[in-house]
Structure 1
């Protein structure tokens, strides 16, 4: 299989007009030739980034050879550095190391190629239909039937064959697409497997299984956390009949890769792959806390809009992430997990069908039937 990084394979229609892109490959909305962008970043920022890269290279070793040893010796250093952000040039490799996907790849030689070339999937038409809706403003995925869309199709098709119980569900494309921007098809596939099957953290497959059981659980937990951590806002949501399925489903289904600013999404993914799903709850609560005084004044329709369109200042990674880290949720999430299981045996079974219908309507944002 081709081991080249997706980011090294950009192909743009030669007849298309030249377009300005940001340093991540997304077409800029403002096409004026402004001085903004990575080429004009201050010299001291470049120097600081180079120092960070050197530290990280020393920490992971050649090809990740020293990683496990370093994590065992200095776990707090690793956690602190990941929370500060993984250097972009090393992000793909580090993601594979912290997710456990590198081990899966090494243990399963030839499996990905077999799935892509020799197996068929019942989800192939659904995947083809949704391909163009995944990161449509990124140059890698814009060309119809281009390398980006082909790679995305291959990864999603391979997973739908690998796990026929899950198959393919809208929203998975954004996760696979994000991974493909930092690694090869085969690497992206095994990272997707590591996430959904739980190589390191709790498996994510329940986000995409029939009935969306894990989405329902996470929304229940998040609603309780809002009520407990910000009771006035929780009461206001209740009065306005706002529940998390109206705005937060995609947060969990795509881990913020669907609509959040890309630099913020990357920083969240750095932490998510190392610490698990708790960061999704922390980010959601941090946004609520940051915008608390504004949200508590809004009626239903404006609330829905605000919860899907947070202000730019709230989306600054250097502001939002420290706030998120200050919100401790691990113990309470475990308690709510147990509470959900007990309640789900009875009263929540009836409300679950309602939640499922609302969640399904949110999935239509990604295109097609849920």
Structure 2
């Protein structure tokens, strides 16, 4: 449609007025011109002539500040990161030969090959219900960590990228060409690309080739999946995938598979009303009440910390930027294989591992600081210890029938993934997207932000309201209906293979 104006969170009256009004012809023309200008900047690249007045200079770092994963550290690489690098290098040296023998990499690659591994069919197959099953050897080795050398091809196979390409009703190049002309989310995507992983070697330079690929993937997906469009948090997911997948089209279909396949189904986390997010939160709260009641009362009753104040980012970004990167990629290894159970299980595991430390914290500010500032930099446990704990937590959840069940109808895509030439989104879709984007912005802004005293609220109001925390309901959830508890009994693994949900 081309309507790009963003509703201000600082003025509820203005927001309501804008949501109720339809754009004028002049506003549509201005939005089209802005979209063309943004796309042109990415096409011109970092060496384009002239810079925008409000464009900050690219971050400057020295080579000795760059860690193993491509992240810069202004004060030098922390000892914890160096220790993690050593653990990974030693583990990969021991495991690569085992993975090579187990999978037997094939010389063929890409859409024309049946698999990138000659023995993939021996470690992974689909049962009658269409669920992935794995050999017990493969399952154990995923928990121990996929070697860096094999992470990309294994993720490629787990996400069934070749199948996604074949089943897509339209080619990626067509979607991209159409979206660059018509997506109503171009402006918001541009803003988020500018602040996504700028502390890495990959995205440090504004409008560099990596930023352009990230922009293209997000813009294309905003018109491919009309129900979601674009929401804050998706840029982090796509940027992370781009660190491992080879090209733009692969990353696009990897993102699409994460949103729509049965195991991951992240679609329900980003659509308006966030049905899957609320379901995850409810399951997480049930796990705490059953297994960690003391921690639950300490955090949510005694200190009244809303559960959305720290879990939104955990669930919507699968712990990216919530734990050290060396741990995040290990969590993602398991998430790629088993999907949803890994997300809620890891939240439960985090609270169990850190329960003693959490119980010693004496205020809501201390708790939020610990979740938001301490854990992302110093987790206090090795990656192997955390993954062992995750496996134990999933076993406890399965025994208590608390594993996430299959996605519900309200969490799945409703609009076909296609378009017709000349198609424009109608006003209702654009308004729904705008409301969804603002809800996500509100939740992300509130997440990990300390609640203010009356005097601080007054000061924030005088500053335009940018620091105000939006109030939540009595259960700590922002808005929307609470989903029912998903507690369907999960399949039981056999001796030789393991069903994905019982992995």
TM exceeding 0.5: yes
- Does residue 249 (structure 1) correspond to residue 312 (structure 2)? The answer is yes
- Does residue 88 (structure 1) correspond to residue 148 (structure 2)? The answer is yes
Q: CA, structure 1 residues 56+28, in 2 after alignment: closer, same or farther (shift >3 Å)?
A: farther
**2:121 paired residue number:** 68
1:19 alignment partner, one of 63, 68, 85: 63
Q: What is the TM-score when the length of structure 1 is the normalising length? A: 0.80
**1:353 paired residue number:** none
**1:301 paired residue number:** 365
- 1:1-370, aligned counterparts within 5 Å? 18-20=62-64, 21-31=66-76, 36=82, 47-55=93-101, 57-58=103-104, 62-63=108-109, 64-66=116-118, 67-72=120-125, 75-108=135-168, 111-119=171-179, 120-183=182-245, 184-198=247-261, 200-236=262-298, 237-298=300-361, 299-308=363-372, 309-310=374-375, 312-327=378-393, 328=395, 329-330=397-398, 332=400, 360-364=441-445
2: distance between equivalents of 1:190 and 1:143?
25
Cα shift readout 1:77-109 (whole Å, capped 9, x = no counterpart): 111111111111221111111122231124449
More helix by share: 1
Cα shift readout 1:178-230 (whole Å, capped 9, x = no counterpart): 110111111111011111112x4152111110122211121121112111111
**Ranges in structure 2 where 5+ consecutive residues have no aligned partner:** 1-45, 48-56, 110-115, 126-132, 410-436, 448-465, 467-477, 479-503
2: distance between equivalents of 1:256 and 1:202?
14
1: distance between equivalents of 2:204 and 2:174?
27
Q: CA deviation at 1:54?
A: 2.5
1: distance between equivalents of 2:88 and 2:198?
30
Is residue 59–residue 204 contact of structure 2 (8 Å, CA) maintained in 1? no
Cα shift readout 1:325-353 (whole Å, capped 9, x = no counterpart): 11122464658869x99xxxxxxxxxxxx
Cα shift readout 1:103-161 (whole Å, capped 9, x = no counterpart): 11244497111111233211011100110221121111111000111011011011101
Is residue 131–residue 152 contact of structure 1 (8 Å, CA) maintained in 2? yes
| Greater Rg by CA | 2
Cα shift readout 1:56-92 (whole Å, capped 9, x = no counterpart): 5427775424323432496211111111111112211
Q: CA, structure 1 residues 169+46, in 2 after alignment: closer, same or farther (shift >3 Å)?
A: closer
User: What's the secondary structure of 1:141's corresponding residue?
Assistant: coil
2: distance between equivalents of 1:108 and 1:322?
37
Q: CA, structure 1 residues 33+131, in 2 after alignment: closer, same or farther (shift >3 Å)?
A: closer
Q: CA, structure 1 residues 143+229, in 2 after alignment: closer, same or farther (shift >3 Å)?
A: same
Q: CA, structure 1 residues 105+231, in 2 after alignment: closer, same or farther (shift >3 Å)?
A: same
1: distance between equivalents of 2:295 and 2:197?
33
How many pairs align?
A: 343
Q: CA, structure 1 residues 136+231, in 2 after alignment: closer, same or farther (shift >3 Å)?
A: same
**Ranges in structure 1 where 5+ consecutive residues have no aligned partner:** 1-10, 342-355
**1:344 paired residue number:** none
**2:417 paired residue number:** none
Cα shift readout 1:43-66 (whole Å, capped 9, x = no counterpart): 965642442452354277754243
